Amino acid sequence: MTLHQLLNEGTDALVRAGDPEAKLDARRLLLEAFHLDTVHFLMNRMQQLEQTEAVRKAVCDYHCMIKKRCRRVPLQHIVGNQDFMGLTFKVNRHVLIPRQDTETLVETVLEEQKDRKKKVLDICTGSGCIAVSLAVLGGYEDVTATDLSPEALRLAKENAERLLDGSRRFRLLQGDLFEPVHETYDIITANPPYIPTEIIKELQPEVRDYEPAMALDGDEDGLGFYRRIVGEAQAYMNPGGSIYLEIGYDQGEAVTGLLEKAGFRNIRIIKDAPGLDRVVRGEGGCYV
Ligand code: GLN
């Protein structure tokens, strides 16, 4: 038996299960089971595997992981992590798996906000991917993140402890949106749940069956959280503060309208890598 054969076997099983990324996923799981990097895999894939206890265990782990993936358990839940902004975040079933889409939000903030002294608030933080990557890559000295889910916050705490060096103020607060917040901020970010309730059942099984509904479900029209966030945000912003919201590809106009109505200025929609509307930013910080 060779690694190459194991890869083909796993790929075939995943194709039959409808995995759209069968080959890539099988390879990732094989590397994970054998604790191999790509270079060693490519060098050794045609060699007969030795009959050691360690190899037997790796083969068994691999089969077990392929079986899970055949049930459409997300790859990230099987391996336990996901890369985001070049950092590795732990994930589990209590948080939304960080998406490349959300890197657009982080990149926009990093581009527009160079002052490290600015205070950052991230609501609906989940795994903490936005808050932690802003703290690490933007160097912001004071970052607060909130989430309603205590399980999500536990994971965000683990990610923060692993990825941050403790030289800055990083706080996690449990509560509904702004409920646990008692200070004002210069930058507010959020990737709230924004999928219309009816659409959730049409999503891929990985998302629909394994990711938390509370991180996806944006009420009947998908805009429920934006109404609340935009309505309350001004009260938590310093003068000249900015807000950055991730949105669904077809929500740019609606969220822009909400920001305008709440008195935000310089509102702009930013597109993601595939060219879809993905972030809306605006400036507020004074009452109108
Ligand atoms: N972008 C995610 C998806 O399409 C949804 C994220 C969200 O609701 N905040 O699965």
Q: Are strands 142-147 and 119-123 parallel, antiparallel or unpaired?
A: parallel
d(CA 53, CA 176): 50
**What mean pLDDT value characterizes the chain?**
96
Q: pLDDT for 171-216, tens place per residue?
A: 999 999 999 999 999 999 999 999 999 999 999 999 999 999 999 9
- pLDDT band for position 166 (cuts 50, 70, 90): confident
pTM of the model: 0.95
Distance, in Å, from the CA atom of 93 to the CA atom of 106, rounded to the nearest integer, reads 23
Ligand 1 touching residue 207 (CB < 6 A): yes
Give the strands of the sheet with 169-174, arranged side by side: 169-174, 142-147, 119-123, 185-190, 237-246, 277-283, 265-271
User: Per-residue pLDDT tens for 49-94?
Assistant: 999 999 999 999 999 999 999 999 999 999 999 999 999 999 999 9
Using the mean position of ligand 1's atoms as its centre, give its distance from the Cα of residue 194 in Å.
6
Measured distance CA(33)–CA(64) in Å, rounded: 10
**Quick one: pLDDT at residue 287?**
52
- At position 78, the amino acid (one-letter code) is I
Q: Is the CB of 217 under 6 A from ligand 1?
A: no
Is the distance from the beta carbon of residue 191 to the nearest atom of ligand 1 less than 6 Å? Answer: yes
Q: Euclidean distance between the first and final Cα of the chain, in Å? A: 71
pLDDT per residue as tens digits for the range 127-138: 999 999 999 999
Res. 288 pLDDT band, cuts 50 70 90: very low
